[in-house]
Amino acid sequence: MKQDHLLVLASDEYLLPGFIDLHIHAPQWPQAGLALDRPLNEWLDQYTFPLEARYQDTEFAQQVYERLVPELLANGTTTALYFGTIHNTANLILAKAAIKFGQRALIGKVAMDNPNQTPEYYRDDSAKVALQQTEQFIQQVEALHVDIGGNVTPVITPRFIPSCTDETLLGLGQLAQRYDLPIQSHCSESNWEHQFVIDRFGLHDAQVLDKFGLLTNRSVMAHATQLDTQDAALFRSRGTAIAHCPISNAYFGNGVLPVNRLLNQHNKVGLGSDISGGYSPSLYENCRQAVQSARILEDGVDTKLSPEKRGVINSRISMKTAFYLATTGGADSLNIPAGKIEVGKMADLQIVQDQNNCFSVDPADVLERLMYQTNRNNIKKVFVGGQLVHQN
Q: Which of 112, 126, 127 is nearest to 174 (CA)?
A: 127
Residue 41 pLDDT class (50, 70, 90 cuts): confident
Q: Is residue 243, in this structure, part of any structural domain at all?
A: yes
pLDDT for the residue 361: 73
pLDDT for 96-144, tens place per residue? 999 999 999 999 999 999 999 999 999 999 999 999 999 999 999 999 9
Q: What is the pLDDT of residue 40?
A: 87
Task: Answer yes or no: is 128 within a domain.
Answer: yes
- Give mean pLDDT, residues 149-176: 97
Residue 197 inside a domain? The answer is yes
Contacts of 268 (CB under 8 A, 6+ apart): 235, 239, 240, 241, 242, 329, 332, 333
Domain extent at residue 163: 19-343
Question: Which SS3 state, helix, strand or coil, does residue 374 take?
Answer: coil
Q: For residues 320 and 368, what is the distance between their CA atoms, to the nearest angstrom?
A: 7
pLDDT band at residue 386 under the 50/70/90 scheme: very high
pTM: 0.97
Is residue 351 in a domain? no
Q: What is the mean pLDDT of residues 330-347?
A: 97
* 241-262 confidence digits (pLDDT tens): 999 999 999 999 999 999 999 9
State the CATH number of the domain containing residue 114. 3.20.20.140
Please report which residue ranges of the chain form alpha helices under DSSP H.
40-43, 49-53, 58-74, 88-101, 127-148, 166-179, 191-201, 205-211, 229-238, 246-252, 259-264, 283-299, 307-310, 319-324, 330-334, 363-373
Helix and strand numbers, DSSP H then E, in the chain: 16, 12
Alpha-carbon dihedral of residues 7, 75, 340, 354, nearest 10 degrees? Answer: 60
Q: What pLDDT is stored for residue 26 in this prediction?
A: 98
Instruction: Please answer whether residues 106 and 81 qualify as being in contact, where contact means their C-beta atoms are separated by less than 8 angstroms.
Output: yes
Give the pLDDT confidence of 368-380 residue by residue, as tens digits.
Answer: 999 999 999 999 9
Is the pLDDT confidence value at 1 over 80?
Answer: no
29 part of a folded domain? yes
388 found inside a domain: no
* CA 90 – CA 214 distance, rounded (Å): 25
Average pLDDT over residues 148-160: 95
Beta bridge partners of 390: 382
Q: Is the pLDDT of residue 49 over 90?
A: yes
Per-residue confidence band for 356, with pLDDT thresholds at 50, 70 and 90: confident
What value does the CA radius of gyration of the chain take, rounded to a whole number of Å?
20
For residue 184, CA distances in Å to 42, 221, 352, 357 come to: 23, 6, 31, 40
Please state, rounded to an integer, the average pLDDT across all residues of the chain.
96
* Within a domain: 211: yes
Structural domains counted in the chain: 1
Residue 22 near residue 243 (C-beta atoms within 8 A): yes
Task: pLDDT band for 3, please (50, 70, 90 cuts).
Answer: low
Q: In what order do the strands lie in the sheet with 387-391?
A: 13-17, 349-353, 379-384, 387-391
Is residue 379 included in any domain, yes or no? Answer: no
Convert the pLDDT of each residue in 276-320 to its tens digit: 999 999 999 999 999 999 999 999 999 999 988 999 999 999 999
Q: Which residue has the higher pLDDT, 67 or 362?
A: 67
pLDDT (tens digit, 9 = 90+) per residue, 163-178?
999 999 999 999 999 9
Confidence check: pLDDT of 2 > 80: no
